[in-house]
Amino acid sequence: MLRNILVPLVSLALAFTAVGTAVAEPSPSSPGAETAQIEFQHISARDAMTALRSIVGLRSLQVVSDREIKADGSAEELALVRAVVGMVDVAKGQQPVMESLEVESDRSMIARLMLQPAKAPEAMQILRKKVSAKHVAAMQNPELIVFRDSPEKIEAGLKLLESMVAASE
């Protein structure tokens, strides 16, 4: 049933068009690495970096401006960076409320759920304690939670979060 509620999986190809980016260039820091500038409209650079470090695990990030960051990584990592930014760079009240995508390289899933004000920190604690989710990021503006784990843990986490949201309404 939950799979019917989930928005259809987002392809990584769509992420390339959803977020403004500069053309990736070879990075001088490590062989095979590329550099991309990622722009966003609704979130701050700080929130973007928090989500990317937690969800993608990419550490080579730099703030260019409040609405732009620079990322170094493989083509696959940069594609995932673009996909995650595309998921979290949403305006308050923007639909869909829930979105997910499958990461083919490790068969994990990433899910994003818009929450009511002041619920993201609580949701993050629930996911860590009850589902043992390790890759979780809570954002304040807009209020949302994004997490990455196995499809089973994503499904269990979304059920818990849905019940939390329903109980607060």
User: Which of the pair, 147 or 31, is modelled with greater confidence?
Assistant: 147
- pLDDT tens, residue by residue, 30-47: 666 899 999 999 999 999
- 68-95: b (≥16 Cβ within 10 Å) or e: bbebbbeeebbbbbbbbbbbbbbeeeee
Instruction: Calculate mean pLDDT across residues 47-74.
Output: 93
Alpha-carbon distance 102 to 31, whole Å?
A: 27
pLDDT band at 17 (very low <50, low <70, confident <90, very high): very low
Measured CA to CA, the distance from residue 44 to residue 75 in angstroms comes to 24
Q: Residue count of the chain, please give it.
A: 169
* pLDDT tens digit sequence for 73-122: 999 999 999 999 999 998 877 777 889 999 998 999 999 988 876 688 88
Give me the pLDDT at residue 81, please.
Answer: 94
Instruction: pLDDT band for 5, please (50, 70, 90 cuts).
Output: very low
Q: Supply the mean pLDDT for the chain.
A: 80
pLDDT at 100 (0 to 100): 92
The pairing of strands 135-140 and 25-26 is unpaired
- How would residue 20 be classed by pLDDT, with cut points 50, 70 and 90? very low
Strand, coil or helix: 36: strand
DSSP per position, 102-164? EETTTTEEEEEEE--TT-HHHHHHHHHHHS---EEEEEETTEEEEEEE-HHHHHHHHHHHHHH
Q: What is the pTM of this model?
A: 0.76
Looking at residue 45, its pLDDT comes to 92
Q: Return the percent helix, strand and coil in the chain, to nearest 5.
A: 40, 25, 35
